[in-house]
Structure 1
Amino acid sequence: MENTQTQEKKLYSSVFILYLNYFIHGIGCSILGQQVIKESLAMQWNSSVDSVTMIAAALGLGRLITLPFSGPISDKLGRRICSLIGVASYAIFFIGLAFSPNVQVAYIVAILGGVANSFLDTGVIPACVEILAPKSGLATMLTKLFISAAQLLLPITLGLFATNNISYSTFMIGCAVALVVIGLLVTRIKLPETKVEKGEKAPGLMENIKHTKFTKESLALIAIGFTCTATFQLWLNCAQTFGTEVAGMRDAGQMQVWYSAGTIVAIILTSILVNKIKEVRFLFLYPLISLAMLVAVLMIKTPAICMIGSFVIGYSAAGGVLQLATATVNDLFPKIKGTITSIIMIASSLSNYTILTAAGKIGATSGPEAVMMMNIVITAIGVLLALLVNMRFSKLEEAAREN
């Protein structure tokens, strides 16, 4: 009994170390959306602010390239290997971003950031789900908690760096150093490693998909990975520009603080509520709240509504919808957790790449209001998809039993 308790304590400490990766990821996935960083990098690359949004889209491209095989690698070779690849790739991303001389180099570096994201998603999330089982919803929500904590502190930290005349490159190098330390810890922690049978070939993504039965409802659930990502990525990367150019905000960076605060509140409340309410219900309610808020921001166009909108979007769009969708599909396809995580993250990455690329072009030609309108349309589609999933949830449960 004492031995078992010691092992459990080691596993719980392992979970904390794994989640530290998501703290740094919180910085990595939102740093290019900060107006001060956009202006600094645009000057560094002798380019425009809108080009930085297109560089952020390359994060999604990197995820798209690697997610088809990062999931099966995780299922076959273990969560540790995937996590370490993610750590190494993210360290290169931060160093590369700090020293990139132009947009072309930055684009390649951002692709590596996406590679890091995909390997962390398919390494860390399944590992934490396995350790904290059966609380899969809580396990995925905690990843968002660490992301949000970092996003809350990011604008405050950048403000301190600016006040003390410290370059933003120094901050990025510090993130890379932190990742090296976390990587060393990951090599030593106890994890529920996947056993590799001698001579057995690891099944690929397409092979796993071929032997898995998907219903229309489960496909709609995966599509929510696309729409919910678009909602918060468009806000995260473009709302500060809207606040500055349309709403007349002097310090749009404060929007990030309210956004992160909303996300943290959502994570705390939702983590409690998922024990009483089915996770799938939030997939409809939260996007509906986001939709109403986006419409209000576009119509009212004041600094106050931008602040309120940041908190509400942080709560309803970035407060765990993607994580809850991931937890739901993991429960529906328990035999291929790594692979199914890859599938929904591919949908998320496709959204990140295509939507932010489009936003960069639309913003340059039609302005930030057009980008906000695009966000409203995509969020509305997500609401309709979630409505279908909720109305026919029994079909999803039936598919889970067959799988």
Structure 2
Amino acid sequence: MKNQYLPTSLGMYVNYLVVGMSIIILPQNMDVLAQQWQTTLGGVAVVISAVGLGRMLVSLASGILSDRFGRRLFILMGASLLLVFFGGALVCHTLTGAIILATLLGVGGASLDAGTYPALMEMFPQHQSTANVTLKAFTSIGQFTLPLIISLLVARHWWYGWSFLLCLGILIVNTLFLWRWSRFPVKSTRKDKVKVATQPVVRGNLWLDGTLFAIFGYAANGVFLLASIWLTKYGQDIVGLNDTSARALISDYSVGSLTCVFLTIWLAHRGVRDIQFLIVYTVMSFSSLLVLYLFPIPLISTLMAFIIGFSAAGGVVQIGLTIMASFFPNDKGTVTGIVTTAASVASFTVNLIAGALAANLANVMLLDVGLALVGVIAATLITMRYRYLFGTGNAQTVAPKQSET
């Protein structure tokens, strides 16, 4: 608690509270935004996919530039681009303008990732994994609270824009704090990398294992994105829930995500290995999505929303990155970039496919089931490769340096 960077880290966590809201603010306001932007639900899906396009375009480059120019610059840049999105979305009345704003949101998110994850690892070198997983917790808190706020706005017939203004207000105050009073560690020297040479040389095959992790990153990111974006509309149109109950599915989903974050940390400290989490969570994700698709009734949808959030959005991507680091102990940056790029491609392409299927939301859920099945297959093959390389599976893993958020 005496760490001098605690205030700065809190500011970075607050950024990810807003990032969590930004992930679902478009789908939560899908109908009214379709009218404002003079388009259809499919058009809004294209706008949502543009967020992934923005991330895909800059995710690799922003990480490299963050090493060169510092973390603070990219954190402030990312927060500023989020400000542009939340402010611009309220005054935009064209689909083209909305796509541009969504692309800037994606660029802003990638910039925040490039600055925040390395900064947290430098601020808390003895607790890197916990520091990064806590970002996931704040993201989930944002995803949990926003549907409740929007439900209140809808119930009282208030202007939808108050949800955007809330995010805008939090960001303005937080960005001013980070700009004026934040403190960051002095940039480490390249000599620190000499320590890598002391690590055990246990290497995977870059083409085989790299491809498996890329497929896993694509599938895992696509699963939780589709669920977080389309769960509310699926609840309304297929399950037959009213507006408030359908929005509550996202809150159930976020509670599941938060529960998984804390349970995973607790179990990891008691000896449960990352590779065990990986296969269990991916199977749970596939099973819960399949049940939701086959039995779209209110009680099951509520329970499955919690389990989907637990298994698909509770840190499984971070777990995958941690395992990947054990496959390539001397090339963490390279292989992390591969998975991060795959996740960004998923953010862009999966939403485009979902938009084309949006006429029947059952097909969107079936797409999510298919992605989850791909994730199970990839996780199974990764587990087989893990056992082949490490035998009993007692290899020491390290905390991931980047995430999909």
TM range (shorter): 0.7 to 0.9
Cα shift readout 1:161-187 (whole Å, capped 9, x = no counterpart): 334443222331331232122222223
Query: For 1:341 and 1:86, how far apart are their aligned partners in 2?
Result: 20
Give the counterpart of 1:278 among 273, 276, 301: 273
Query: For 1:176 and 1:90, how far apart are their aligned partners in 2?
Result: 8
Shift of 1:133: 2.8
Matches within 5 A, 1:360-371: 360-364=355-359, 367-371=360-364
Give the counterpart of 1:55 among 40, 47, 52: 47
Change (3 A) 1:189 1:304: same
What 5-or-longer segments of structure 2 have no aligned partner?
Answer: 191-203, 399-405
Equivalent position of 2:199 in the other structure = none
Matched, 1:379 2:359: no
Equivalent position of 1:191 in the other structure = 184
> What residue identity is the alignment partner of 1:389?
I
> What residue identity is the alignment partner of 1:369?
A
Shift of 1:142: 0.8
Equivalent position of 1:220 in the other structure = 212
Change (3 A) 1:239 1:357: same
Shift of 1:324: 2.2
Matched, 1:258 2:252: yes
Contact 1:260 1:314 in 2 (8 A): yes
Matched, 1:174 2:174: no
Change (3 A) 1:130 1:148: same
Give the counterpart of 1:343 among 332, 338, 343: 338
Give the counterpart of 2:16 among 22, 35, 44: 22
Contact 1:78 1:193 in 2 (8 A): no
Query: For 1:286 and 1:213, how far apart are their aligned partners in 2?
Result: 25
Contact 2:326 2:396 in 1 (8 A): no
Query: For 2:69 and 2:91, how far apart are their aligned partners in 1?
Result: 34
Shift of 1:104: 1.2
Query: For 2:334 and 2:66, how far apart are their aligned partners in 1?
Result: 8
Cα shift readout 1:185-218 (whole Å, capped 9, x = no counterpart): 2233222243589xxxxxxxxxxxxxx9835224
Cα shift readout 1:250-281 (whole Å, capped 9, x = no counterpart): 13111111111111111110121222222232
Query: How many percent identity over aligned positions?
Result: 28
Shift of 1:150: 0.9
CA RMSD of aligned residues (A): 2.5
Matched, 1:74 2:66: yes
> What residue identity is the alignment partner of 1:387?
T
Contact 1:140 1:327 in 2 (8 A): no
Matched, 1:389 2:382: yes
Shift of 1:124: 0.6
Change (3 A) 1:164 1:300: closer
Structure 2 length-normalised TM: 0.86
Give the counterpart of 1:302 among 288, 297, 303: 297
Contact 1:45 1:102 in 2 (8 A): yes
Contact 1:56 1:110 in 2 (8 A): yes
Matched, 1:120 2:119: no
What 5-or-longer segments of structure 1 have no aligned partner?
Answer: 198-211
Task: Indicate the SS of the match to 1:253.
Answer: helix
> What residue identity is the alignment partner of 1:53?
A
Structure 1 length-normalised TM: 0.86
Give the counterpart of 1:293 among 279, 288, 293: 288
Contact 1:72 1:338 in 2 (8 A): no
Query: For 2:323 and 2:71, how far apart are their aligned partners in 1?
Result: 20
Shift of 1:245: 1.5
Q: What count of residue pairs does the alignment treat as equivalent?
A: 376
Shift of 1:343: 3.3
